[in-house]
A and B are shown apart, each in its own frame.
Chain A
Amino acid sequence: MRPIISVLSALVLVVLAVVPFAAPWLQFVLTLAMANGMVALGVAILLRAGLISIGHAMFFAIGAYCIAFLSRLGINEFLVLLVLGTMGSAIAGLIVGAFVVRYRAIFFAMLNLAISMVVYSLIAKMYSVTGGTDGMALSTPTFLWIPLEKPGFDHVLYYFSVALMIVMGYLVHRYWKSPLGYALSAIEGNELRLEYLGVSARSVLLAAYVVSAALSGCGGVIAGSAIGHVLPDFGYWVTSAQFVLIAVLGGIGGAAGPFIGSFFLELLHSASVNLTDAWNLITGVALIVVIVFLPSGLYGLIRKRRRSAS
């Protein structure tokens, strides 16, 4: 069982490592895929508790706009930007989460949607502060205080994202195997029983919410840095829904799921961009197919094969 997964993972890592040389046009696409995967991972954390948030793009946007403002203020070192941007989203997550974790099901979804639309609309309309629908440009950050040209920075960002993705995946995996993580699944199963055990569902959820907001903010920092520009659309409800789509497509059974979903979608997009314009159609059909026939997502597919192989 384990050797197959190790071989597969090693293979994936090797492929990822050589992409900037073998297929340079994919580097940008894959960097974005990893950024999206991080947000999807955040969404997946909440999905394990049975809560669907169609507003997480707001944390993605907050992370991206944080570094845009910081860049404007003159802070130009990527690692500093990453930490501050993630913290900004985490703080936002704490504030929003404290309010929304009282709700469940459809109301949780609607509240997240409402708050994200407030954030989106403010960003889109405050032209003098945020540049409105034009967005804000980001100057190329330094890495480890070494100034870089954009192409060089893009390479560094790509490898850094791969490393970050692995670390994140591992940390979330440990989180899900920890008491806090099991408590999350318990909330979906039977919240009352959990409360009887003396565990505050709200605290568990708040912790999860803050973590998911931080992950989303991190994704926003990386996406903003890769594109070099931040836009209000980062926080639009369709973007939120797409993150949920990625999480479900990939499967929330394991921390690798959202990333699998994200890579799959981006690669599919790149492959089909010359053939057809109907990208939304393909994504929509893929989503419905997965929900109906593969409820555990693509990750579930791999896990099933694994089980049957043993």
Chain B
Amino acid sequence: MLGLIIPLLVDSLTSAALIFFVAVGLTLVFSVLRVLNVAHGSFYSIGAYVAASLCLWVISAGLSPWLTFVALLASAVILAALLGPLVQSTLIQWTLGKSEAVQILATFGLFLILEDLQRIVFGVSSIAEDTPMTLLGVTSIGSVTYLNYQILLIVAAIVVVFGLRMMLVKTRIGKLLSAVVFDREMALSVGINTKRLFTFAFTLGVFLAALGGALAVPTSGAAPGLGAETIVLAFAVAAIGGLGQIEGAALAAVIVGLARVVAIYFAPQLEAVAPYIVMLVVLLIRPYGLFGNDQARRI
């Protein structure tokens, strides 16, 4: 039993790291723009395909395999730069201020469009590219051998948590974002250019989702249907943590990762249902999530 604790922890944190990237982007966009983007998971899966394709190109062009790491990061940046402002200034901007039903439906429409675009551009088969994983090698703890890549994922997630918090607190744009989150009308009346901030926040969200997809490629590859699975899990994590709460998303990701891994180890049939049961239990006790607060009641 004791011998299982370390594998359990490592796997939980790795699993948590991957879903955290998507969930934090979703929650950030909700916090700033007050829009729940159903298409967010598509950025993850398109990010995965772009990253896999870019890495394959790096390998086939005979470049140094270490450049695949750069490729992973670059693909997220490229995707965010291409899609972020575009989607934000067209669809998302239009949905601001409309009812949730409209927002959910509009972004669901976007999800459908992106699903097919992904299929048309990247095809219907799975792509695998594991160079970054093999490059980093393995470590053994006890009888279990781990990929060092898994550790990299966990470190990357921690960096993102702290990085986001630092950005919000220390940088100018971060403070502007916080102001908009806190009181949008006040921020507008003080002369803050909310539209630019929204674009920035949304693009950051896309970047984080695409980064999650890219970082997942060396272990899981890219496959059709990834977007749909990811978004619903990201919803669960974001809701558990409290919509709009970055640290909440991190904690929720850890809890969900733990739940899934414990399930695989001890009750494999419950693995798929574990995150949603956690979501239900948390929402029963704290309807707005662990760190969330009552934002939606308006009379």
Contact = CB atoms under 8 A, between A and B. Distances in A.
B273 A114 contact: no
Contact of A288 (B110, B117, B236, B269): B110
B293 to A, nearest CB: 12
Interface string B102-120: 1011101111110111011
Contacts of A105: 100, 296
Contact of A284 (B116, B239, B280): B116
B299 A191 contact: yes
Contact of B36 (A106, A111, A191): A106
B109 A121 contact: no
B170 interface: no
A233 B104 CA distance: 21
A280 B115 CA distance: 7
Contacts of B106: 287-288, 291-292
Contact of B112 (A52, A284, A291): A284
B168 to A, nearest CB: 22
Contacts of B277: 118
Contacts of B36: 106, 109
B96 interface: no
A interface bracket (residues with beta carbon within 8 Å of B): 35 or more
A110 B280 contact: no
A205 interface: no
Chain A interface, >50% SS class: helix
A109 B100 contact: yes
B115 A106 contact: no
B232 A237 contact: yes
Nearest to B282: A114
A126 interface: yes
Contacts of B78: none
A114 B115 CA distance: 22
A131 interface: no
Contacts of B105: 52, 244-245, 248, 287, 291
A122 B273 CA distance: 6
Interface string A94-110: 00000000011111011
Contacts of A50: 99, 101
Nearest to B299: A192
A121 B276 contact: yes
A125 B94 contact: no
A288 to B, nearest CB: 4
A280 B116 contact: yes
A285 interface: yes
A106 B109 contact: no
Nearest to A115: B280
A114 B116 contact: no
A137 B271 CA distance: 25
B239 A281 contact: no
A118 B276 contact: yes
Contacts of A125: 269-273
Contacts of A54: 104
Contact of B232 (A47, A117, A283): A117
Task: Give the interface centre of B99, B239, B272 by most chain A CB atoms within 10 Å.
Answer: B272
A125 to B, nearest CB: 5
Contacts of B100: 52, 105-106, 109
B116 A279 contact: yes
B232 A241 contact: no
B216 interface: no
B121 to A, nearest CB: 12
A106 B276 CA distance: 17
B288 interface: yes
B297 interface: yes
Contacts of A47: 101
A107 B102 CA distance: 15
Interface string A180-193: 00000000001110
A278 interface: yes
B109 A118 contact: no
B120 A117 contact: no
A284 B109 contact: yes
A103 B295 CA distance: 12
8 contacts: A54-B104, A114-B239, A125-B271, A127-B269, A241-B104, A281-B113, A283-B109, A284-B110
Given A244-B105, A280-B112, 12 more contacts: A107-B287, A107-B288, A107-B296, A115-B280, A126-B269, A244-B101, A244-B108, A278-B120, A281-B116, A283-B109, A287-B109, A291-B109
Interface of A: 47, 50, 52, 54, 103-107, 109-111, 113-115, 117-118, 121-122, 124-127, 190-192, 236-238, 241, 244-245, 248, 277-281, 283-285, 287-288, 291-292
